[in-house]
Amino acid sequence: MASSSGTPWYKRRLTRWQYYRSVPLSRLWPLYGAIFCLFAITGIFGDMMNLGHMPYLVVILNTFFSGMTAVLYVVVVTRLSAWFFLILTLLQIPFWTGFVYLIPFLISHFHLQEVPTASGIPLAAGIMLVLVVGSYTMFVSFLRGEGRESFRLRNELELAHGIQKTLVPPISLRAPQFELYGRSDPSDKVGGDLVDALQLDDGCTVAYLADIAGHGLQAGILMGMLKTAARTALLDACSMDPRAVLPSLMERLNRVLPCVKEPQMYATFAGFRLNPDGSVFYALAAHPPILHYRQHTSVEQISAEQFPLGLLPVSGFSSEATTMASGDLLIAVTDGILEACNKSDEEFGLDRLQEVITRHATNSLPALAEAILASVRAFGKQIDDQTLLLIRRL
């Protein structure tokens, strides 16, 4: 069973438990107190069923253990593993059995007397009212605290989205032989997709698309570092052999990224060098295939197997050349587009992307980009950044 976003139910539940395990206990005590008061009422309710005759000590113990049992279950479910839940459940049988046998011992040992109904029921009702009010008050306190925390995180997320939009603005560029358009639409989370283009002093244009593995501020920060490192590395690209520009850029990024990231993070990469004579060099590093639309003929997939950037200390990155006729298109996208899932957990995929490109290939590049993104969102809910880079030969 999966949601419309394609996330299995057990993974969603695991995410919720991981959230509660990360919350400091200082923020959870109102929740535990509210649950204690709520379920402690069952101890009073047992006395009410006995017309208020139970001795006060027995009622107090029954109330305390009822509330603590509920709190223990919540602690186990939110902060421990499922095995502890099973162990706690099994321990309930001997504990409450022993408690039942303990009551007669307490009554005889301490000479406890039954409480008259006229006194017991009003007292029990008063205690139940106090517990209900206490539970409500602590639930409200917990919700207010979580609301303030949620508001703070929302503000930080909006700030991070603002930074992301500044670092990854839409790209609309016209080179001597090419037209380029790039766009990145972030998801609700802060991601690490990047599309960028830079015109060099020799008339060439370098455009690339990168995708940082993961989400959150770490991915967003690493994306900003990658953009800075890439633009710095391209400052001396004019003096290089055209075929060596993209491999050199990938080598530099692969050396720089490990020093500024977590070990498990990496970046996929799709880069292009567009030359004034109309020739094109491209390079891929663990990125989805590039689509080459040849006008009025077909859409071809271009792929290359190379390691992602920043993951392993490898070298020997390479680029390849391709030819583009007038009206041809090169399309590079991130997995947020290809892996968008519908309610049947089917991915959008390259085949559907090719169909959209074929239908709208003669549109302007911004219109083509809008058609692609609209088709993806009509297919399934966006759960990742959706970024594309379009290049047309003029």
Residue pLDDT, tens place only, 32-47: 999 999 999 988 888 7
Distance CA 72, CA 36 (A): 9
Diameter of the chain measured on Cα atoms: 104
Quote the pTM value.
Answer: 0.68
Positive or negative torsion for Cα 361, 367, 369, 373: negative
Where among 160, 190, 217 does a domain terminate?
160
What is the CATH number for 297?
Answer: 3.60.40.10
Which pLDDT belongs to residue 10?
38
Same domain for 179 and 148, yes or no, is: no
Buried b (16+ CB within 10 A) or exposed e, 324-359: beeebbbbbbbbbbbbbbeeeeebbebebbbebbee
Give which of 189, 194, 198 is closest to 167, Cα–Cα. 194
Answer yes or no: do 295 and 319 share one domain.
Answer: yes
Task: Looking at the structure, tell me whether residues 332 and 370 fall in a common domain.
Answer: yes
- 351 close to 326: Cβ distance less than 8 angstroms: no
Residue range(s) defining the domain that contains residue 71: 9-160
Structurally, the chain folds into a number of domains equal to 2
**What distance in Å separates the CA atoms of residue 71 and residue 48, rounded to the nearest whole number?**
23
- Count the Cβ atoms, other than its own, within 10 Å of residue 163: 16
- Amino acid identity of 377? R
CB 286 within 8 A of CB 307: yes
pLDDT value at residue 367: 96
Examine the domain organization and report whether 198 and 88 are in the same domain: no
**Torsion (CA) 323, 325, 327, 332 in degrees, nearest 10:** -10
**Type of residue numbered 234:** L
Q: Looking at the domain assignment, is residue 4 inside a domain?
A: no
Residues 232 and 178 in one domain: yes
pLDDT of residue 1: 37
Q: CA 46: distance to chain centroid?
A: 46
Q: Is residue 260 part of a domain?
A: yes
Asked whether residue 360 falls in the same domain as residue 260, the answer is: yes
Residue 246 lies in a domain: yes
CB-CB contact of 234 with 244 (8 Å): no
Is the Cβ–Cβ distance between 177 and 166 less than 8 Å?
A: no
pLDDT value of residue 351: 94
Q: Name the one residue in this structure whose structure tokens are 């995180």.
A: 153
Structure tokens at 161: 């989205």
Q: Same domain, yes or no, for 47 and 154?
A: yes
So what's the pLDDT on residue 16? 52
Gap between the Cα atoms of 355 and 128, Å rounded: 66
| Single residue among 160, 180, 197 that ends a domain in this structure | 160
**Cβ-contact 243, 319 below 8 angstroms:** yes
Co-location of 152 and 198 in the same domain: no
Q: What is the pLDDT of residues 240-262, one digit of tens each?
A: 888 999 999 999 999 999 888 88
Which portions of the chain are predicted below pLDDT 70?
1-20, 156, 160-161, 188-191
Q: Look at residue 145 in the predicted model and tell me its pLDDT.
A: 85
